[in-house]
Amino acid sequence: MSERIAVLGSTGSIGKSTLEVIRQHPGRFEVVALAAGTNAEEMIRQVREFRPKLVSMATADAARQVREAVGDQVEVWTGDEGLIAVATHPDATYLVSALVGSRGLHPTLEAIRAGKKIGLANKETLVTAGHLVMEEARRAGVIILPIDSEHSALFQCLNGERKEDVSRIILTASGGAFRDWDRERLKEATVEDALKHPNWSMGAKITVDSATLMNKGLEVIEAHWLFDMPYEQIDVVVHPQSVIHSMVEFRDGAVMAQLGTPDMKVPILYALSHPERLPLDTKRLDFMQIGRLDFRAPDPERFPCLRLAYEAGKTGGTMTTVLNAANEVAVDFFLNRRCGYLAIQEIVERTMEAHCPVSSPTLEQIGEADRWAREFAAGLLTRTA
């Protein structure tokens, strides 16, 4: 049976990899709806190739460019209403949620309520409102399949296993662009330095998050919700080769790992085709070429964002929302050269310290916490810029 796919974030790294997977299996997958930011040129190419029924752009200007190029070939929406229209399109059976940041929360929730199967690459959805999202999925009988390579690895390692037999889950981290830099050198880190990821090709925001290890911290929170695992049983290990994508240790001492090349098309295809495994044109793992696999503990002095993520997760409630919002603001300032690299972690920590968390928040309270954190963090950054 074919899946009819809607994609949020179709012009980004994950979105384009998703479309490449669909391109390789045209008989199994059909594109129904696409949403993107402001890259009208890329969206026009996607519309002409995949012929979706509806697309949405973040701005009116980008929507106008698409509309003028494709005419009445496709319905064009804009803004948050457009995101929800794409996510809940009546012809779609499956949503790939690949927006960057907390904007993915509301359309993903609406897709769950509409009974769509979810392929989740937007970790902020669970970081911001994990308790609400998982409860909505349970109520709607909707399966959430992880697309992040680490969570896909854990999902595969846990397949068929009993939760009570799990001792811990272990997320691997490449260490990002600064894995070999000392704290003193980090004071001079530039945007160009941060964007030189040694293993993966990703968007700018997630590449910076990889450098600070905030991305791994967000993944810890996401794993907590996806696999119903306490934070005390979620560990992180730096693995520079990015060959082992994550591991599960069982109470008998056995460790199961999922290995592969650093290619996001692999977990995307697995999420789309589960429980099947379809063929994929991608580079195969060559153990003779790898030669060795290295591991080390993350350095808490160089990667305090990982500690902050654990603290936010264990505090719970709106604290994870505040963590994510403050980080999004700080990373945006850094990418626009309005603050230094080390200011990212400082602003996140100061915003968390100023927040009084609300336990078991409603969606409205989450929205309020998100807005407060963005304003507070921006204010700190503006005063220290």
Q: What is the pLDDT of residues 349-373, one digit of tens each?
A: 999 999 999 999 999 999 999 999 9
DSSP 165: G
Q: pTM (2 decimals)? A: 0.93
Domain ranges of the chain: 3-146, 149-263+274-308, 316-385
* 168 SS3 class: strand
Average pLDDT over residues 281-296: 92
pLDDT for position 1: 66
Q: Of the given ranges (150-164, 190-204, 241-255, 309-323), which has the lowest mean pLDDT?
A: 190-204
pLDDT, tens digit, 9 for 90 and up, residues 295-328: 999 998 889 999 999 999 999 999 999 999 999 9
Assess whether pLDDT exceeds 60 at residue 384: no
pLDDT band at 200, cuts 50/70/90?
Answer: low
Give CA–CA dist 94/231, Å, rounded.
30
Torsion of CA 359, 138, 206, 330, to 10 degrees: -20
Residue 385 is predicted with a pLDDT of: 52
Closest by CA position to 187, among listed 178, 195, 198:
178
- 179 band by pLDDT with thresholds 50, 70 and 90: confident
DSSP string for residues in 313-346? HHH-TTHHHHHHHHHHHHHHHHHTTSS-TTHHHH
Neighbouring residues of 102: CB distance < 8 A, sequence distance ≥ 6: 124, 125, 128, 321, 324, 325, 328, 370
What CATH architecture applies to the domain 3-146? 3-Layer(aba) Sandwich (3.40)
- Contact between residue 348 and residue 326 where contact means Cβ atoms under 8 Å apart: yes
Q: Which CATH architecture has domain 316-385?
A: Orthogonal Bundle (1.10)
Between CA 294 and CA 132 the distance in angstroms is 38
How confident is the model over 102-130, as a mean pLDDT?
95
Ranges 21-35, 38-52, 193-207: which has the least confidence: 193-207
Question: What's the pLDDT at 201?
Answer: 61
Q: How many residues does the chain have?
A: 385
383 confidence band (pLDDT: 50, 70, 90): low
User: What pLDDT sits at residue 199?
Assistant: 65
Evaluate if residue 82 carries a pLDDT over 70. Answer: yes
Q: Is the pLDDT of residue 382 over 90?
A: no
Residue range 320-343: mean pLDDT, rounded: 95
Rounded Cα distance, 321 and 13, in Å: 24
Q: How many CB atoms lie within 10 A of CB 313?
A: 24
To the nearest whole number, what is the mean pLDDT of the chain? 94
Distance, in Å, from the CA atom of 216 to the CA atom of 208, rounded to the nearest integer, reads 11
User: What is the arrangement of strands in the sheet containing 117-120, beginning at the earlier edge strand?
Assistant: 75-78, 54-57, 29-35, 3-8, 94-97, 117-120, 144-146
pLDDT confidence band for 180 (50 / 70 / 90): confident
